[in-house]
Amino acid sequence: MTARLTGTLKAWLRNRKAISHYVFPSPDDPTVPMLTGSKFGFETAVTRAEIGEDVHFHDLRRTGATRWAERGGSMKVLQEILNHADINITAKIYTQVSGDFKRQEMEKVENGQAK
């Protein structure tokens, strides 16, 4: 975890309402942990956001990996973060190329700015 993320989480824990000592308490009873893990509420959020039915919790992991690659992050480091035994899984499945990124890269080539 990065120092920035650690600081953000510590500040959040200090400033949140003291209803529970759990980071993710059950919405029904804050004295017990949320049993369904971080996926809890994801389907509800997708429905409320009206972004379609073909959106899954695992898409968050894939999107994070894609953004990492788009920003020039190391594939080897990403492989370790995602805990993949094979770097090809990381490169082929977890890093997609967005339309915006393709466009930006094509403009760099067009303008003579490509590496």
pTM given for the model? 0.60
Q: What is the pLDDT of residue 76?
A: 96
Give the pLDDT confidence of 35-83 residue by residue, as tens digits: 655 556 777 788 888 887 788 888 888 999 999 998 989 999 999 999 9
Whether 85 has a pLDDT exceeding 90, the answer reads yes
With tokens 């959020």, the residue in question is 45
What is the Cα–Cα distance from 107 to 109, expressed in whole angstroms?
5
What is the Cα–Cα distance from 11 to 7, expressed in whole angstroms?
6
Q: By percentage, how much of the chain surpasses pLDDT 70?
A: 88
